[in-house]
Structure 1
Amino acid sequence: MSEIKNTVNKLINKYKTRDPFEMAEELGIWIYETDLGNIEGHYMYAKRKKVFFINSNLSEQDRLLCCAHELGHALLHTKSNVYFNNSRTFFNQFRHENEADEFAAELILNDNLLSNYEGFPLEVISNCEQIPLKYLNFKFNK
């Protein structure tokens, strides 16, 4: 079992939910939903406070995935500052983004999702469930 999957399972057991909004509330993370234009969401850590900004124009499913992704950043990369890293350093943000996507996939998607679609490719499941293919790949193609 991957370290991220293990972390997610511990959180689910502790908080008795897969809902990233409920987990964030339990963890004292502030969430602001506002029009972010082309940006889906953003995580910020400032003065020992974790804050999410989520685009208010997202669908309900995309809001859940975005919140789960930002929760991944908050728990896996607590003090990482994306804007600072991208503009002032040579830090490769790609790895952190992939880890946050894997975290979101493990949190939102049930392990038995594929049993409902036996024999179907992930592309079909993505369309049926309205889940971006990248999350299905993180969950089921390791």
Structure 2
Amino acid sequence: MYVCNSEIVQKANRIVAQCGTRDPKRIARELGIEVMYLPFSKQRGAYKVIMRNRFMFIKDNLHPVMENIVLLHELGHDTLHREEATRTGGFEEFNIFEMQDNRMEYEANIFASQVALPDDDFLELAERGYDTQQIARALNSDINLVALKADTLISQGYRLRPQEHCNDFLKYNR
């Protein structure tokens, strides 16, 4: 089932309001999702539902910025795709971070950008003339997540310059 961008934004904003934070670890704890760190060799994360228990498996030793993005991405799967994960036994990163071929990956990344990057902060920096790289640095994020956020705001009617981004930036360590 595909989720439209406006619904993704709504769900992300609802989670932030419900949990009172944008911190993915606190959100996971509030939602009853178990976060486990594993020594993955290539993949950065996975989301699984096992016997109605929700798990996010995260590569240990990720840079803190990337760790937060991966956690938020997996929270996106929990919020948007839990039914599919339950039916299929979960998602593994090597086949879910291909946004160009997999709509669910794109949706999880849009969710991550909405939770990680508050609209007001983003728009203030954009109005001050910051480019994507400067916004990413100012908001302690990744340039590709910032570009996705810009695309989402453009789809909501904001007049911003479209941004270039790499569709598979979360795929695996290169």
- Name the TM tier (shorter chain): 0.7 to 0.9
Give the root-mean-square deviation of aligned CA atoms. Answer: 2.1
Partner of 1:54: 58
Size of the aligned set, in residue pairs, is 135
Runs of 4+ in 1 over 4 A off after TM superposition: 127-130
Name the amino acid aligned to 1:7.
Answer: K
Assess if the C-alpha contact under 8 Å between 1:54 and 1:66 holds in 2. Answer: yes
Which of 87, 101, 105 lines up with 1:97 in the alignment? 105
Q: Is the 8 A contact 2:65 2:142 kept in 1?
A: no
Q: In the alignment, what sits opposite 1:133?
A: 143
For 1:107-126, what aligned pairs fall within 5 Å after superposition? 107-114=115-122, 115-116=124-125, 118-126=128-136
Structure 1 residues 54 and 141, CA gap change in structure 2 (3 angstroms) = same
TM-score (norm 2): 0.69
**How far apart, CA to CA, are the structure 2 residues paired with 1:98 and 1:31?**
22
Equivalent of 1:73 in 58, 71, 77 = 77
List gaps (5 residues or longer) in structure 1.
87-91
Matches of 1:33 and 1:6, distance apart in 2 = 29
Q: Within 1, Cα distance between the matches of 2:121 and 2:53?
A: 35
What amino acid maps onto 1:133 in structure 2? I
| Percent pairwise identity | 29
CA distance in 2, matches of 1:12, 1:39: 27
